[in-house]
Amino acid sequence: SVIDYAFRGLSRGRPSGRFSYTNFYFQDPNFDGTFLVSELVVLAPQGFPLRVAEVNLDRPAQKSEQGGMVVYRWRVEDAPHIEPEGHMPHFRPLLPHVALGEEQSWREVWADLRENFLGRCIPTHDLRAFAEQACAGRKTRREKAEALYYAVLDHVRDTAGFAPAHVAFVERSGNRLLLLKTLLDAAGVPADFAATRPDPRVEPAPPWHLPRPDQFDGAGPNGLLLRVALDGHETVWLSGAGRYYPFGEMPVDRRGGWALVLGDAGPEMVTLPVGDPSVYRTAAERVLGTLQDFVFEPSVEGPTVVKCRAAATGPESSFWKERFAEVDAARRKIFLETI
């Protein structure tokens, strides 16, 4: 017999924060190899609040006690090989795997995620003055929110770092939603941060009975959203992912996904709106239009001139508009030649 792959990992000591072992797969998630035997053994102190999520396993863990420890043992033999195919579903629902974590509640997850924003959204005198100027003449919450949204997109040129709102305002660089939330507070428009995850058709849902902060993205440019309460019962979701995103649009992978709203009242889990695709497309085309006509000579040996028109639709087209605005004609030519 031949052993294709074998390993043993040892980890001692308590990690910072709560214990979490995201996923152990009993088959190769890259589908490169076939395992004859795959085994996971976990030793936990007696009384430790360990939560387990088992997926696609024929039998649960074998439990025993050894020297004051509880031993969990999972074993998978002769798992069938999966041949990868184009456009196949995400591998996570297909493969047998185990996720482990220290028991915690959704309120504890909510509190952990809210810590990212503590002290970062304090409205200084300059920020209040900026909000007052941007909202001049606006009466409704929608008018104020839209004016502040576009003012932030125009003011903050890039999204480097996660500095407090007043720093992002001065340096014109940082997380746009931190600044926008601060300005909305100054203008009296209620808004809450929301950590999100993609539509389950894009990324499979995690084991919800094992709450963990890493199940939601609360800091990335696509993951963090703002839920803004407008007039009446109307709400709008805002993204800081790009300078040319239309008001009320969000990244494609978040539409229909999940959001953990991080408001003061406590954790709130909601489904993000899907929206009307035709309206979505039209709004994006109004913002972007046609990128530009690009003319270049593909060969120095002849006078042939190739005219290339590149057009993009959808909310992600704002990324291309922002990207092309940052480079000169020579770099645009190189970029198009490598597409």
- Per-residue pLDDT tens over the stretch 232-283: 889 999 998 888 888 988 888 898 999 999 999 999 999 999 866 654 454 4
Residue 91: the pLDDT is 82
Q: Of residues 57 and 311, which shows the higher confidence score?
A: 57
Residue 314: the pLDDT is 59
**Neighbour tally for 2: CB within 10 Å:** 4
Residues 6+ apart with CB under 8 A from 187: 131, 132, 135, 144, 148
In the three-class reduction of DSSP (H, G, I as helix; E, B as strand; rest coil), residue 45 is classed as strand
What sign results for the dihedral spanned by CA atoms 135, 138, 141, 145? Answer: negative
Do residues 26 and 76 make contact, with C-beta atoms less than 8 angstroms apart? yes
Percent of the chain scoring above 70 in pLDDT: 78
Burial class, 298, CB count within 10 angstroms (exposed 0-12 / middle 13-18 / buried 19+):
exposed
**Taking the model in full, what pTM does it have?**
0.77
pLDDT, tens digit, for every residue of 270-318? 999 986 665 445 444 444 444 444 444 455 555 555 555 555 555 666 7
Residue 241: the pLDDT is 84
**Neighbour tally for 195: CB within 10 Å:** 24
Residue 307: the pLDDT is 53
Residue 278: the pLDDT is 56
Judge whether residue 156 has pLDDT over 50: yes
The rounded mean pLDDT for the chain is 82
List b or e across 27-44, with b for residues whose CB sees 16 or more CB atoms inside 10 angstroms: bbeebeeebeebebebee
Average confidence (pLDDT) over 97-114: 92
Average confidence (pLDDT) over 195-209: 88
Residues 206 and 101: their CA atoms lie apart, in Å, by: 13
Average confidence (pLDDT) over 60-88: 88
